[in-house]
Structure 1
Amino acid sequence: MLRTALRNLTAHKARLLMTALAILLGVAFVAGTLVFTETISDAYTKSAEQGYDHMDVQLSPDNKEGEGHPGAAPKLTQHTLDAAEQLPGAKSAVGVVGGFTALADKDGDLVGGGWATTGANYYGETDPRYPLQDGKAPTSQGEVAIDAKTATRTGYHIGDTVRLSVNGPIREEKVTGIFTTDDGNVAAGGSLVLFDTATAQQLFTAEGEFSSIEITAKGGVDQAELKQQAERILPEEAKAVTAHKLASDQAAMVQTQMDGLRTGMLAFAGISLFVGVFLIANTFTMLVAQRAKELALLRAIGASRRQVTRSVLIEAFAVGTLAGLAGLAAGIGIGAGLRSLLGGTGVTVPDGALVVSPATVLVSLAVGIVVTVLAAWLPARRAAKIPPVAAMSALHAAPTVRGLVVRNTIGSILAGAGAALVVVATGQDDGKGLLSLGAGLLLIGVFVLTPLLSRPLIALAAPVLRLFGVAGRLARQNAVRNPRRTSATASALMIGLTLVTGLTVIGMSMANAIDKMSSNAMTADYQITMGGGIGTLAPEVGEKLAALDEVTASTPLRSAPVRLDGDKRENWVTGLDSASAPKLIALDFTEGSFAGLAGDKAIVDTHTAEREGWRLGDSIALTWRDGTPGKLTISGLYQDNQMISGIMLDNAVLSPHLDHPADMMVFVSVKDGVGQASKDSLEAALGDNPAIRVMDEGDVSDEISGVFTMMLNILYALLGMAVIVAVLGVINTLAMSVFERSQEIGMLRAVGLDRRGVKRMVRLESLTISLFGGVLGIVLGVFLGWAAGELIVNAGVPTYTHVLPWGRLGLFLALAALVGVIAALWPARRAAKLNMLAAIKSQ
């Protein structure tokens, strides 16, 4: 039986090759995902560890929830630094200051992508963090040093003048030095600018204050001992952490971030493998059907059912092993390619070797083998049930009426229960779990029912197929001749299009909702923010804009932490200009209005008010950031949205309690309204600052739609593998169908159907099956997209409305048709080339 199984492998090379290709693609995606994420994780982890090589213990503020004043813990002072330098086990101590710093290249564009554009202090000649590669360290205002990677990318050299911004106003500094660094942000494509310590403190903290203190141990003193010594000099709300612990925490954070990416990519690999199961099961089912005589003869000469089952499973095991090995090799290449592709997009990854762990090898092979064997198990059982008497006939018994009734009953129950759960989930505030369960049951139920659904749905295409004459009528009959095979083929395409359609409906609807929310909440002409939403604006920016002749109204939005009486958690309040706000911000008030917002008055969104039990006219007792107590009176209640929510008050009340006032954004309206001239004027007034973005409503909408479009394109690319597997399934089905109908095709040729007619028949059959799967997928995708949208509305996005992107839905249906056309090319050509006499004698 083992020799028989191996002989069958070589006897059906072409058919098993497509099955192996489907497994290979799925395994390659799994292996590529594991290799890519492990390589990136290892590179960042080692980079993080190198970033702490220069120190042994770090002192930093300790932000303990519910203790001290609201907001961040106080910075460390020069006194603590002096004490750290005098520790018995300390070789040296460095005071660190840092924060957001936007650097412009020679074209005036932002370097580093915003999130990784940082600045820090160069402590002195004993500073071990940033070895100088060229020039000298900055020693006074007007001097900076830049990292070597940024210097290479931008072309800056010693003596060049660079433009940068920390919180809005443009600064022009001279480059005095270029340094190397193991900073992970720089390795990832960011930029780092160094100032002298006094300037850095002026920009990021305050005179004599440090963000952290890094201590290096003397020879023979370990980190734990130095940490114990440092704990004796710690001020309140500060902590000491060893470099080993910092590196470990950094590695854990990187691992957590990679876990999210890995999980997402593996989910799409799982979808591809799930779709591949249909192809594998279909292939083995048809191979078993074609070998009915052979298997029955084996039974007749003494082979047991177990031996027949084992023979089919051995074939599956061999195919799965070979495909798994090939998929692993392809996956290693994909992992390396993804890393190179990431670098090509401008994201720099730390140097490191490609990581192929033993776990990746074992998982990849296990996935290939297990998926293939499980998919072949039912066909193997079916093969074992072939009675020896079937050797007397070329045909095996068709499914019984009882079997069809049981199948359709189970499918109806699953689909009905799944649809009911989906509908019930839409009425719940947190119905994600119920929706996922319902969607899974619905997909399985529809898959089980597809043989029943295939006849009536394909019959709808009969009027169109008749236009193609005999070939069209034969194509329809062939498509419904074996409903199980047709349904298994169409289901693979159905699942892929269900996911694509559902994600498209949700993505387009969400983009529309946020666009509408933005336009509803913002009546100002322009919104001014720091690039990428990173960093805050200095009050000087809002003051400069308000002083412009063309500006008719402006208000900065300024936030600060407070602690409500009796509440240990921090709450945030937002300050604005109460006189200008009504002209720039549109809020839906349920009680009160902007008119009462002055002095110690505040407006609160209805969600917060309901949670806290507040009503119009109530007083709110709180503690400000500086520790002083305060009281606000509620003068208005408004409906919150994703743009604006919480407690809002006049900046004149909020600002005195802030050591360093800073604005999240500034809203501005101008005399001439929105236009390129107005935008250019505002940008020029701000010094054409690369760190500051001046956006009108259209820019905000474009930014939002751009994010969703990018996300959808990534999802389309990932789901594309499932569609490729579906194409293989259609090719496989048609090839098997042509083989089974060789005699019939020979008879058709003999009675006058030419080669072109045979090709047209096979193509129309493929087109019909693909459109059947496409229609089912689009309908299910729209339904599940609607259900997910209802959950989004329940989660507090009132502007969400269901959008049916008819253009894209039409494109998806056209792509399903294209799948059918492409998949039919080889089977149609093979059918047309059959020798009619040999075909007639084939059975």
Structure 2
Amino acid sequence: MIALASLRERRRSLLGTLLTLAVAVAVLTICGLLLGSARPVTPDRYAASPVLIRPVPPSNPEAFTEPRPWPQEQVAALTARLAAVPGVAAAVPAHRFYAQLLRDGAPVAGEHEAYNWSSAVLGGYRLAAGRAPAAAGEVALGEDLGLPPGVRVELLTAAGPQPFTVTGTVSGPGIWVGDPAAGAGGGVPVIGLLTGADADIAAVAAAATEVIGADGVVLTGDARGALEPVGDARIRWIGLQVLSALAALGTFVSVFIVASTFAFATRQRHRELGLLRLLGAVPRQVRGWVLGEVLLLGLLGGAIGVPAGLLAAGPVAGWLVRTGFEPASFTVLYQPVVPVAALAAGVLVALAGAWSAARRAARVGPLAALREAAVDDRPVSRVRLLAGAVALAGAVAAGVAATRASGADLGSYALYAAMLLVVAGSLLAPLLLPGAVRLLTAPFAGGRGATVLLVRQHVATAARRSASAAAPVLLCVAFTVLIGGMVQTTTAYYGLNRVTAADATAVVVPDGTPGLSDAAVAAAGGLSALPTTLYDGFEPLPAAGVTPAEHAVLAVLEGDLTALHQPSTAPAAPLSAEIGEQAVAILPTGSDRPTSGGQVIPAAVAQGFATSAGWAVGSRHPLFGPDGRPITLEVVAVLAGGPLPAGILIDRTATRAMDPSALTPVVYSERLVPAAAGLGARPLSAAAYAASGQDEDDRLVWVFTALLIGVSAGFALLAVVNTMLMSTTGRTGDLRVLKLSGATRAQVLGLLAAETAAVVVTGVLLGLAVAVAALAALARGLSVQLGVAVPMVIPWGTLAATVGVCLVLAVAAAMLPALGSRREAGPAASV
């Protein structure tokens, strides 16, 4: 019966270890597949064009700014030359501007850009009914909107609601207007080439590259995905950060948990391996037997985890799209190398975890099999002590680096410090646990009889086993508190700066639209800024248009803001619309700045920008406007640092003239105005705006936080349960001795609960210390970077929930084998 119980205990231990490894491989498979699938996709509206041409993008791909468009006059010349390329049937420019369908006074979700009708052919779209739009006030709509020809509709544009008549429906989504209406202002972002059926696409692309020169980039095949909307590119970048963080955290937790689980499982068989030595096995045979068993278990765990990961990748991808971490075009690309790599990683992690334990097991002397007590004579070897010291030193270095870093590096260094502290705490836990447990149990030493003494003695004599049980608790608490605390610590600063710039008591924000139209801004009153983008060569420069009303919140260091709204000192330079080489020559090419001509626009600049760019009052700087035409900025004022909408401020009227699709993000007002129907605007009090999570970034951050906490805590809790099950399973002999010594069943269970609680609480304290140290470094770094005292925020609610779950699961897992031992081994072994 005892042998049967031992076999059942061994099977239970293997099952828990197998499950841990399978989950790790599944997570690695999912993350690998999704990371490999995170790539741009050719927009449907350009899918029928085998060759697409775009302006030169900014050098920083994470700027998430549209490339400097071509002016319409230049496009006229370029399309004429591209249409003459052999194999090209047509060269079609794509004009676009902001427009959103209004239905029952509310913006319709989905499409919020209108295109010129001639560019519909680039997506292979055809009329399904009616005729194409031609005159002003005519529009063709996608069939999915369900509006037949002849219906009168309203489109919300950057100026405000405009009436249109539906002339036709299109075999695809979108809003289409006549070419003259679409081309009224603004630059051209794309030129698509249509080719003959027998055309050589590579030859056409090469010839188009010669025509376009340094003014653009020719795209074919999958490279056309670079034309995905900027919003989709930004979402895809956010998703990449999410998946990278999940992969990094999942890999670290997987390595930590799987390695410690296998090491603990191997150590639990100390006496069993000693019996093999007693029967004549040499150390090499013992190592080979242990590692061979781990290899088989790793392959079996991978065989379970890989299919689970493959099945879960699709639903997880759908969830990422629904939550906004990936664009709607995101799909899973199943690559065979990913599951193979995940399986190999799982096996290697298992072997690495069991290697040191197998080496120790191979050195077990034959007489060790005769020992009845598992006493850790050397709970920490020299190698382990050295590794722990190195990890601790690395954590200190990462923490110091965090206090001096900026941007994303600050959070990364804080996370590195936490990882290294977790490793150091786990390696040094056998040294720390006995003293920590002694301190924790000191208040109860006088009134609990032998229970406190037995708890202290067991932790001291089985320090490694106790440390293995505390390690997953340490990891669980450290990462849940750290991740939640990082978000709340950074939010504690940024939340203080909302709605304070204009001393506003109310705001007006977009409602179902990407921004506010001029009509919505006029109805709201108050203060606002109209953001746009200027270009220094091909590099974007954020700018904003303001009116004299905003001067009240601007602090002038030098110059005169009234000059900001004076008429331009030079008229716009004439640009020939003639088709040919001369028209193209008027505009600069490549990355050269315009040296003459163009409208002179007064500008005020922030002090920091003026210092870094070398601008001063009175200086002039040739740039390009948001429509691609050359302009010259004349600095008339330098502004003090503070909550400015952009580094460059110009007149709002000049901004609207250059950028017909610019939208206002928010209006600050002194009173709460009623919502105006059909404008896509929503009024909020300042307090409601500051407290709300209306920003999409805020929502994504909190979903991301919950996801990271779920992954780290899920792994750790699984390890807590598995480790406690194995720990109690390996102590059935000790529990049997206690029972034979006169202890009652309730006393033995109480001892298990007390010992488990002491180990869990010690792990919690170590994990909290890790999180607090990393958060302190983060708060210090933010304080230095932002110039204000940023308080360190500890998510006490998250901590309490994590501690409670860890404690309940650990105690339940520790007592389950003891409760089941009576049925398995009979009365002699019952607890």
Q: TM-score, normalised by structure 2?
A: 0.80
Q: 1:838 to 1:135 in 2, by over 3 A?
A: same
Distance in 2 (CA, whole Å) between partners of 1:107 and 1:749 is 78
Q: Secondary structure at the match of 2:71?
A: coil
Per the TM alignment, residue 777 of structure 1 is displaced from its structure 2 partner at its CA by 1.5
**Matched residue type, 1:362:** V
Per the TM alignment, residue 104 of structure 1 is displaced from its structure 2 partner at its CA by 4.4
- What is the aligned partner in structure 2 of residue 164 from structure 1? 155
Superposition map of 1:271-282 within 5 A = 271-282=252-263
Q: 1:342 to 1:439 in 2, by over 3 A?
A: closer
Distance in 2 (CA, whole Å) between partners of 1:289 and 1:83 is 81
Distance in 1 (CA, whole Å) between partners of 2:758 and 2:723 is 13
- What is the aligned partner in structure 1 of residue 286 from structure 2? 308
Which residue of the other structure, out of 783, 802, 811, is the alignment partner of 1:824? Answer: 811
**Matched residue type, 2:669:** S
- What is the aligned partner in structure 1 of residue 10 from structure 2? 12
- What is the aligned partner in structure 2 of residue 73 from structure 1? 70
- What is the aligned partner in structure 2 of residue 503 from structure 1? 483
Which residue of the other structure, out of 333, 336, 344, is the alignment partner of 2:311? Answer: 333
8 Å Cα contact 1:793-1:800 kept in structure 2: yes
Q: 1:36 to 1:383 in 2, by over 3 A?
A: same
8 Å Cα contact 1:279-1:728 kept in structure 2: no
Cα RMSD, aligned residues only: 4.3
Which residue of the other structure, out of 554, 570, 581, is the alignment partner of 2:550? Answer: 581
Query: Which residues of structure 2 form unaligned runs of 5+?
Result: 1-5, 61-66, 567-600
Q: Secondary structure at the match of 1:101?
A: strand
Given the alignment of the two structures, is residue 192 of structure 1 paired with residue 174 of structure 2, yes or no? Answer: yes
Superposition map of 1:740-751 within 5 A = 740-750=730-740
8 Å Cα contact 2:32-2:338 kept in structure 1: yes
Distance in 2 (CA, whole Å) between partners of 1:438 and 1:126 is 55
Q: 1:381 to 1:358 in 2, by over 3 A?
A: same
Distance in 1 (CA, whole Å) between partners of 2:633 and 2:30 is 57
Superposition map of 1:281-680 within 5 A = 281-298=262-279, 301=280, 303-342=281-320, 349-350=328-329, 355-395=333-373, 398-400=376-378, 407-408=384-385, 411-412=388-389, 414-416=391-393, 418-423=395-400, 425-427=402-404, 432=410, 438-462=417-441, 474-475=454-455, 477-528=457-508, 534=514, 537-538=517-518, 541-542=520-521, 544-545=522-523, 551=525, 553-557=526-530, 559=532, 561=534, 571-578=541-548, 580-583=549-552, 585=553, 604-612=605-613, 618-623=617-622, 625=625, 627=630, 629=632, 631-634=634-637, 636-641=638-643, 644-648=645-649, 651=652, 658=658, 660=660, 662=662, 664-665=664-665, 667-670=667-670, 673-674=671-672, 678=673, 680=674
- What is the aligned partner in structure 2 of residue 769 from structure 1? 759
Distance in 2 (CA, whole Å) between partners of 1:284 and 1:488 is 10
Question: Once the two structures are aligned, what percentage of the paired residues are identical?
Answer: 19
Q: Secondary structure at the match of 1:688?
A: coil
- What is the aligned partner in structure 2 of residue 186 from structure 1? none
- What is the aligned partner in structure 1 of residue 29 from structure 2? 31
Distance in 2 (CA, whole Å) between partners of 1:421 and 1:39 is 32
**Matched residue type, 1:623:** P
Which residue of the other structure, out of 756, 770, 787, is the alignment partner of 1:798? Answer: 787
Distance in 1 (CA, whole Å) between partners of 2:219 and 2:533 is 32
Deviates more, 1:359-368 or 1:490-499: 490-499
Distance in 2 (CA, whole Å) between partners of 1:558 and 1:248 is 27
8 Å Cα contact 1:99-1:120 kept in structure 2: yes
**Matched residue type, 1:171:** Q
CA-to-aligned-CA distance 1:194-247 (integer Å, 9 cap, x gap): 223233223x64xxx85544332234332344446656876x975472543743
Per the TM alignment, residue 608 of structure 1 is displaced from its structure 2 partner at its CA by 2.4
Per the TM alignment, residue 425 of structure 1 is displaced from its structure 2 partner at its CA by 4.2
Deviates more, 1:281-290 or 1:448-457: 281-290
CA-to-aligned-CA distance 1:83-107 (integer Å, 9 cap, x gap): 6556553334434222333334568
Q: Secondary structure at the match of 2:106?
A: coil
CA-to-aligned-CA distance 1:798-832 (integer Å, 9 cap, x gap): 35612424xx3244234223222123324314314
Q: 1:210 to 1:714 in 2, by over 3 A?
A: closer
8 Å Cα contact 1:520-1:586 kept in structure 2: no
- What is the aligned partner in structure 2 of residue 5 from structure 1? none
Which residue of the other structure, out of 196, 216, 236, is the alignment partner of 2:194? Answer: 216
Distance in 2 (CA, whole Å) between partners of 1:275 and 1:810 is 26
**Matched residue type, 1:714:** F
CA-to-aligned-CA distance 1:747-766 (integer Å, 9 cap, x gap): 44455544344333323333
Q: 1:117 to 1:400 in 2, by over 3 A?
A: same
Deviates more, 1:123-132 or 1:214-223: 123-132
Q: 1:223 to 1:242 in 2, by over 3 A?
A: farther
CA-to-aligned-CA distance 1:592-636 (integer Å, 9 cap, x gap): 897997769865433224324567xx43322364645453344x5
Per the TM alignment, residue 404 of structure 1 is displaced from its structure 2 partner at its CA by 5.4
Distance in 1 (CA, whole Å) between partners of 2:87 and 2:203 is 8
Distance in 1 (CA, whole Å) between partners of 2:648 and 2:57 is 23
**Matched residue type, 1:631:** E
CA-to-aligned-CA distance 1:44-70 (integer Å, 9 cap, x gap): 64x65x76552344455557889xxx9
Q: 1:492 to 1:134 in 2, by over 3 A?
A: farther
8 Å Cα contact 1:296-1:388 kept in structure 2: yes
Distance in 1 (CA, whole Å) between partners of 2:767 and 2:257 is 16
Per the TM alignment, residue 793 of structure 1 is displaced from its structure 2 partner at its CA by 3.8
- What is the aligned partner in structure 1 of residue 597 from structure 2? none
Distance in 1 (CA, whole Å) between partners of 2:139 and 2:304 is 53
Q: Secondary structure at the match of 1:12?
A: helix
Distance in 2 (CA, whole Å) between partners of 1:73 and 1:382 is 70
Q: TM-score, normalised by structure 1?
A: 0.79
CA-to-aligned-CA distance 1:673-730 (integer Å, 9 cap, x gap): 24xxx2x2xx31xx4323x455553325423677445423433334424323333333
8 Å Cα contact 1:94-1:214 kept in structure 2: yes
Given the alignment of the two structures, is residue 138 of structure 1 paired with residue 133 of structure 2, yes or no? Answer: yes
Q: Secondary structure at the match of 1:123?
A: helix
CA-to-aligned-CA distance 1:289-335 (integer Å, 9 cap, x gap): 2414423323xx2x221111000001110110000110001101211
Given the alignment of the two structures, is residue 783 of structure 1 paired with residue 773 of structure 2, yes or no? Answer: yes
**Matched residue type, 2:546:** L
Q: 1:109 to 1:757 in 2, by over 3 A?
A: farther
Q: Secondary structure at the match of 2:174?
A: strand
Per the TM alignment, residue 407 of structure 1 is displaced from its structure 2 partner at its CA by 4.6
Q: 1:519 to 1:125 in 2, by over 3 A?
A: closer
Distance in 2 (CA, whole Å) between partners of 1:485 and 1:757 is 22
Deviates more, 1:404-413 or 1:445-454: 404-413
Given the alignment of the two structures, is residue 725 of structure 1 paired with residue 715 of structure 2, yes or no? Answer: yes
- What is the aligned partner in structure 1 of residue 221 from structure 2? 244
**Matched residue type, 2:635:** L
- What is the aligned partner in structure 2 of residue 188 from structure 1? none
**Matched residue type, 2:155:** L
Q: 1:660 to 1:306 in 2, by over 3 A?
A: same
8 Å Cα contact 1:36-1:336 kept in structure 2: no
**Matched residue type, 1:802:** P
